Amino acid sequence: MAASEDGEQGAYFSFGADGRPNPPIDFSGPYGKIHYLHSLSLAVADDRRLYALPTPPTLRSRDSRNHLIAFDLVTGTPVWGGPDDDRLDGDSGYRLLVQDGKLTVLTSHRKNPYRVRALDPATGEQREISDLPDSMDSADRIFTYRDRLIVARYDAYSNGRRPFTAYGHR
């Protein structure tokens, strides 16, 4: 998986087992806009799919949240999710992690604390949901270690926040 950006334009590129390129997945489309500058957090890939948290194609206050979508890497087409799909229950997608056959999505909402959602990468169906403490600081990156979800913050030393926080996670 690779990404190429030219100003506001750009795409994700993947390659087949024979090294031939698959169709690109554009940063912008009817699904909205995948922001490349945050691609390490807002788009992740496994060997079959690209999972992304694009902003909606139209920015109205009621739908300004990042929604979840999965693209097939071989065809470059969406397989589930999108702007009209509410598999995040009204929350805004915030960070992504795909690992060990599970898609983990950190979400937030004005009225709710941060949540961790575990989804089936093949179908997008939610497997688990758990709330994180209201006092959780923003996360720059998430990863797992054993049965813990680790939240990393890049600028923690400059602003006094903890650089890492570990949460129980199945």
pTM of the full predicted structure?
0.83
pLDDT over threshold 90, residue 25:
yes
Q: Which residues fall within 8 angstroms of residue 24, CB to CB, at 6 or more apart? A: 11, 12, 13, 76
Q: Which residues fall within 8 angstroms of residue 61, CB to CB, at 6 or more apart? A: none
pLDDT value of position 166: 73
| Rounded-to-integer distance, Cα 138 and Cα 95, Å | 10
pLDDT value of position 60: 60
Percent of the chain with pLDDT over 90: 27
Q: Return the DSSP state at 36.
A: G
83, 36 contact by CB (below 8 A): no
Which pair of tokens denotes residue 163? 């650089």
pLDDT over threshold 80, residue 81:
yes
Comparing 167 with 74, the larger pLDDT belongs to 74
39, 82 contact by CB (below 8 A): no
Averaged confidence pLDDT in the chain: 81
Find where tokens 């890049």 sit.
154
pLDDT value of position 46: 92
Find where tokens 């979840």 sit.
68
pLDDT value of position 73: 95
pLDDT over threshold 70, residue 86:
yes
pLDDT over threshold 60, residue 63:
no
pLDDT over threshold 90, residue 124:
yes
Q: 2-6 and 69-72 as β-strands: parallel, antiparallel, unpaired?
A: unpaired
Domains of the chain in start order, with CATH, are: 2-168 (2.40.10.480)
pLDDT band at 122 (very low <50, low <70, confident <90, very high): very high
**22: Cα within 13 Å, side-chain hemisphere:** 23
